[in-house]
Amino acid sequence: MKKHHIDTMYTEDQVNARIEALAAQISSDYEGRTVHVICLLKGAAFFTSALTKRLTVPVTMDYMSASSYGASTKSSGVVRINKDLDEPIDDKDVLVIEDIIDSGRTLGYILGLLGDREPKSLRLCVLLDKPDRRVVEVPVDYTGFEIPDEFVVGCGMDYAQLYRNLPYIGIVKFDEE
Ligand code: IMP
Ligand code: MG
C-alpha cells in the first residue's frame, strides 16, 4: 500500500448536521407513506443507519451488494450483483441509499435494474457526489455534500477496505505527491 495520510474534509459534527437536515427533508417528502430503504453494501451501511434512525416516517429496509470490476479506485461499468434484495419492490416507495456517486456507472446500472421491477416510486440519496467525474447521467434526489475530485474515506467509505469506521469524512493524501 502506498504511503499516505488522511486529512479531514468534513468533521463528524458537520456530517451529522447534514444528515439531520437530509432526514428532515426526506421525512417531509414522504409524509403519509412508508419508505422502503435499499442500502447498497458495504459503503452505505453507516450512512443508512445514521439517516434512517432520524426519519420520522415508517421505514422498511433491504440490502443489496454490487461491485464493479476493475481497478480499486475507479469503476469499470461492469457491475456484478453479489447479493440481491430479499423482497420484491413492485408495491413500494423505494429510496436507494449509497455512500458516493462518482462516474455514476454503478448507480446507473443498479437504478436501471431496480426500475425494471416497477416500484411505486424510486429515488436516490447519496452522502457524497463528485459531479465533475460523472460519465453516466444519474438523477440524484438527495445529496449530502458535493465534493471535488478527491479520493475520500470514512462514514462507510474505504481505501483498500480500510477507514470505513472513521466517524468523519477524510481525504486520502499520498505522501510522495
Ligand atoms: P461509480 O460507479 O464510479 O459512480 O463508483 C461508485 C463507487 O465507487 C462507490 O460506491 C464507491 O464504492 C467507489 N468510490 C468512488 N469514489 C470513491 C471515493 O472517493 N472513496 C471511496 N470509494 C469511492
Ligand atoms: Mg460503493
Residue 74 Cα, ligand 2 centroid: separation in angstroms? 11
Pocket test for ligand 1, best of 46, 100, 133, 152 (most atoms within 8 A of CB): 100
Is 122 contained in some domain?
yes
What value does the mean pLDDT take over residues 38-63?
98
Is 164 contained in some domain?
no
Which pTM does this prediction carry? Answer: 0.95
- Residue 68 pLDDT level (bands cut at 50, 70, 90): confident
Place of cell 474505504: 158
Is 34 contained in some domain?
yes
Question: Cell numbers at residue 63, please?
Answer: 440490502
CA-105 nearest atom, ligand 1: 2
Judge whether 97 and 38 are in contact, CB under 8 Å.
yes
Cβ neighbors of 49 (< 8 A, separation 6 or more) are none
d(CA 110, CA 3): 34
CA 168 to chain centroid, in Å, comes to: 15
Pocket test for ligand 1, best of 6, 38, 41, 75 (most atoms within 8 A of CB): 75
Beta strands 79-83; 93-101: pairing state: unpaired
- Residue 95 pLDDT level (bands cut at 50, 70, 90): very high
Q: What pLDDT was estimated at residue 176?
A: 79
What value does the mean pLDDT take over residues 42-49?
97
Is 170 contained in some domain?
no
110 in contact with ligand 1, CB cutoff 6 A? no
Is 50 contained in some domain?
yes
- Residue 76 pLDDT level (bands cut at 50, 70, 90): low
Is 162 contained in some domain?
no
Is 163 contained in some domain?
no
The b/e string for 85-110 (b: 16+ C-beta within 10 A; e otherwise) is beeebeebbbbbbbbbbbbbbbbbbb
103 in contact with ligand 1, CB cutoff 6 A? yes
Domain that holds residue 127: 12-148
119 in contact with ligand 1, CB cutoff 6 A? no
Judge whether 64 and 41 are in contact, CB under 8 Å.
yes
151 pLDDT above the threshold of 60: yes
78 pLDDT above the threshold of 70: yes
If one counts the domains in the chain, the total is 1
What's the residue count for the chain?
Answer: 177
CA-133 nearest atom, ligand 1: 3
- CATH number, position 82: 3.40.50.2020
The β-bridge partners of 96 are 38, 124
129 pLDDT above the threshold of 90: yes
Share of the chain above pLDDT 90, in %: 91
Is 108 contained in some domain?
yes
Around ion ligand 2, residues with a beta carbon closer than 5 Å are 43
Cβ neighbors of 131 (< 8 A, separation 6 or more) are 146
Residue 39 Cα, ligand 2 centroid: separation in angstroms? 10
